[in-house]
Amino acid sequence: MIKAVIFDMDGTLIDSERIAIIAWNRSAKRFGFEIPLEMLHGFIGMTRDACMGMLTEHVGSERIANEMFEDHKVIEDELYSTMLDLKPGAREVVENLHARGLKLAVATSTRTIQAHEKFDRFGLTPYFDVFTCGDELNRSKPEPDIFLLAASRLGVDPASCVVVEDSFNGVRAGHAAGMHTIMVPDINNPTKEIAKLAEAVVPALSDVEPKLVELGLLA
């Protein structure tokens, strides 16, 4: 039986990835560039530094890449005020797993302040025992560091943890951490590689708890 569930944030519990893509496209247009959708999808689950490496290579200038990043964040914050919402079933799955007595953690590539702002906005912060964020680590997903740190802070063996993720890199990181990994696709549907790494792929957050029961990880 599992003892803890570690959730990704953006695209998993909070419906923010579509907003990020809109912001990136608007910013790129301002600077006279286009960012391929494949690259935008590649940003999902990455820290700022990892995104910056890809963006700098694409635009050919670290200065322009930095300016674009900051510009897209301003646009993103403006859009959050009217468009940001929870993913369907997010509140219910968090409340239900918390009621079962499981320890809950957030492991996100987003910076600490921004992560807390989002969860505070929706009143979900009290349900989580631990927040582990992108600005606390040198290596981002698909490396397992963020999930292993979350498990350590929870005082739980990685093998007794479930990771709930929407991104390819998140699934890779959860698998590499030796944790049961459930994918709930948001923008990217799983490839054969990702489907093999995930213990299960479910269409919605409302399916996570029943799937854990089906897998014998919850009574």
| Choice among 8, 10, 145, 186 that is catalytic | 8
Scanning the structure block, which residue is given the tokens 């959050």? Answer: 80
CA angle 10, 13, 17 (to 5 degrees): 30
Task: Tell me the C-alpha distance between 169 and 32, whole Å.
Answer: 29
Asked if 202 and 212 touch (Cβ cutoff 8 Å), the reply is: no
Residue for token digits 């014998």? 216
Q: How far is CA 151 from the centre of its chain?
A: 16
Contacts of 89 (CB under 8 A, 6+ apart): 204, 205, 206
Kind and range of the H or E element at 22?
helix 17-30
- Which one, of 167, 169, 183, 173, lies nearest residue 151 by Cα? 173
* Both tokens assigned to 161: 């943890």
Residues in contact with 155: Cβ distance below 8 Å, sequence separation at least 6, in sequence order? none
Using alpha carbons only, give the angle 146, 149, 152 rounded to the nearest 5 degrees.
Answer: 155
Question: Is 8 an active-site residue?
Answer: yes
Q: Which residues are catalytic?
A: 8
